């Protein structure tokens, strides 16, 4: 029997107003100076203030770095790193979606591994020596699961690539999944990040490295997301939002340990070249790629249809399984208002070869259940246009 490794974060809290535990955890663990990492929009609309108010009340010293951009570039890491060093922070509190938490992770790693201060050497499967500066992560989107994963993504604008960094040393020590913070998301972000979570769960279920534990988490995540995304987005139903927060977290527990596939390989290029929001890129590409992967993953699709999509597919033919599965995904995406194509987010026909060449080098590609060539990528991008 082969050995299966599974890495999870130390402590997690879930529920409305879960952030109330933050200051007690900070004090009990002996932290004194906090760098708060968030993005400008959350800062300006007061979402991050719901967290910093707690720090004020508890007289905890902190400074806020609120310049994180979508698809955060290397420059964001350097800016946050400078502030972190200047204030001699011993803890990072990350508030936001994947962009804020990923930036916090990169800052955390370089703080304790100064040999990686070029940032570009963080790309891929890392072999850093030291655990990063401790992070407490408070996600505001039900999508990326960055609060529980060993992955983070930083954009290198010079090379127009997204660096997918994989490092056990970056995982937050505490995840606080406060669904009250998630409830403040605009509808478009709730939809795209929710589809991002669904992509994580599905790709985690069918990836080459899947195992019994990962599939247990993935299938439950798929069910929770499929049953609750529409209500969470269109009705702002609090119970559905709570379930989305849990579903995206569970999906992260799985894919962080077994990897993803070429939906992410292709989506990363749209983000790097056109600055497409990551969740939207995944949502656009998911049905097209799943049809391609169905040739080898149709039995897993049959299981998902039956166990999570409320469709008895036990007697479906292979073609019926693939078509029904892809149609269900497309329908859900449309119900939450995502109808765009690659062309709608800036994609150009003349860029297809370049995008495909970049996708061939993406770290998520090896985990895809079906082997893929540059020509396959070109066809998939063309279909998604």
**Helix, coil or strand: residue 167:** coil
Q: What is the sign, positive or negative, of the torsion defined by CA atoms of 132, 91, 178, 233? A: negative
Residue 350 DSSP symbol:
G
pLDDT digits (tens, 9 = 90+) for 293-333: 999 999 999 999 999 999 999 999 999 999 999 999 999 99
What's the pTM? 0.93
Look at residue 1 in the predicted model and tell me its pLDDT.
59
- Is pLDDT at 202 greater than 70 in this prediction? yes
Same fold, 11-182 and 187-384: no
- Which sequence spans correspond to the domains of the chain? 11-182, 187-384
Look at residue 185 in the predicted model and tell me its pLDDT.
85
% residues pLDDT > 90 (the chain): 90
Class level of CATH domain 187-384: mainly alpha
Tokens of 32: 């004194």
Report the topology of domain 11-182.
Rossmann fold (3.40.50)
Cα separation of the two ends of the chain:
44
């Amino acid at each position: 029997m082969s050995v299966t490794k599974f890495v999870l974060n130390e402590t997690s809290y879930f529920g409305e107003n879960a952030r109330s535990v933050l200051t007690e955890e900070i004090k009990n663990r002996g932290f004194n100076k906090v760098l708060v990492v968030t993005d400008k929009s959350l800062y300006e609309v007061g979402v991050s203030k719901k967290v910093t108010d707690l720090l004020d009340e508890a007289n905890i010293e902190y400074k806020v770095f609120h310049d994180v951009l979508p698809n955060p570039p290397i420059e964001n890491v350097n800016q946050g790193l400078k502030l972190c060093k200047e204030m001699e922070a011993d803890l990072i509190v990350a508030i936001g979606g994947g962009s804020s938490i990923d930036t916090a992770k990169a800052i955390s790693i370089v703080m304790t591994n100064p040999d990686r201060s070029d940032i570009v050497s963080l790309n891929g499967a890392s072999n850093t020596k030291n655990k990063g500066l401790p992070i407490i992560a408070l996600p505001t989107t039900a999508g990326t699961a960055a609060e529980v994963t060993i992955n983070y993504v930083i954009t290198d604008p010079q090379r127009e690539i997204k660096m997918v960094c994989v490092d056990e040393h970056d995982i937050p020590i505490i995840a606080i999944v406060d669904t009250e913070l998630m409830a403040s998301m605009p509808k478009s972000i709730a939809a795209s990040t929710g589809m991002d979570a669904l992509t994580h769960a599905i790709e985690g279920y069918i990836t080459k490295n899947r195992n019994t534990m990962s599939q247990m988490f993935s299938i439950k995540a798929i069910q929770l997301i499929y049953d609750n995304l529409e209500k969470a987005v269109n009705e702002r139903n609090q119970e559905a939002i709570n379930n989305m927060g849990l579903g995206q977290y569970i999906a992260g527990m799985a894919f962080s340990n077994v990897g993803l596939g070429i939906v992410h390989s292709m989506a990363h290029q749209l983000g790097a070249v056109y600055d497409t929001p990551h969740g939207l890129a995944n949502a656009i590409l998911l049905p097209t790629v799943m049809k391609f992967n169905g040739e080898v993953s149709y039995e897993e699709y049959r299981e998902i249809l039956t166990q999570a999509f409320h469709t008895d597919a036990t007697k479906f033919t292979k073609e019926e399984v693939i078509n029904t599965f892809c149609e269900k995904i497309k329908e859900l995406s449309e119900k939450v208002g995502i109808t765009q194509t690659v062309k709608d987010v800036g994609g150009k026909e003349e860029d297809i070869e370049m995008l495909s060449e970049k996708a061939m080098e993406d770290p998520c590609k090896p985990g895809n259940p079906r082997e893929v060539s540059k020509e396959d990528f070109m066809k998939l991008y063309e279909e998604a246009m």
